[in-house]
Amino acid sequence: MKNAWIINAVALLLVVLGIISQRQADDLLDLADEITTATSVFTGSAAAQQTYLVEKVVDGDTIKVRMNGSLETVRLVGINTPESVDPRKEVECFGVQASDVLEEILLNQSVTLQSDDTQADRDRYGRLLRFVFLDGQDVGLWLLQEGYARESLYSDTPHVYRDAYLAAEQAAQETGRGLWGEGVCKK
């Protein structure tokens, strides 16, 4: 919220001084809105929800949590990591790294889960479709920022954080992070 206010003030000052055009100021204000949305991803949205213990990391985009006494499989919404465990497919470039890093950060940790009204509750395999937060941070967004995942729609309807996810993926590509690194994954 504070960052968005700062961007608004700077945009107004730059317009008044004639340094940027009104269109550029509008772009900055759009960025401020995205920051406000992203900030809610890291704070309020997940903070009040119940936490669940991650007992297993299946791969880079699927975990198992203890929920109401049973083990529930959760598919992270909005991302897709390279395959590492599907017996029908070869292990894809950076799949092992994505699985390893998710295990490193989530195994035996308490996470919060957030559903998205624009998405189904479960996928065709019966997995819960959720955004996963660790200490208030969106794990899917972090995986995208670090280049461990690609933004991916699981349905025809865009998820609530799609703009932030696309921006994170683009930034990872532009900076050559993770699977986007030069010579890391050849097409």
Single out the catalytic residue among 75, 130, 150, 177. 75
Single out the catalytic residue among 66, 92, 103, 127. 127
d(CA 113, CA 101): 19
Q: What is the CA radius of gyration of the chain?
A: 18
Active site annotation includes 66? no
Q: How many whole angstroms from its chain centre is CA 179?
A: 16
d(CA 181, CA 38): 25
Torsion-angle region of residue 44: left (phi > 0), alpha (psi -120 to 50) or beta?
Answer: alpha
Active site annotation includes 151? no
Give residue 137's identity as a one-letter amino acid code. Q
d(CA 131, CA 161): 9
From the number of C-beta atoms within 10 Å of its C-beta (0-12, 13-18, 19+), residue 111 rates as: buried
- Decide: helix, strand or coil at residue 186: coil
Active site annotation includes 83? yes
Catalytic residues: 75, 83, 127
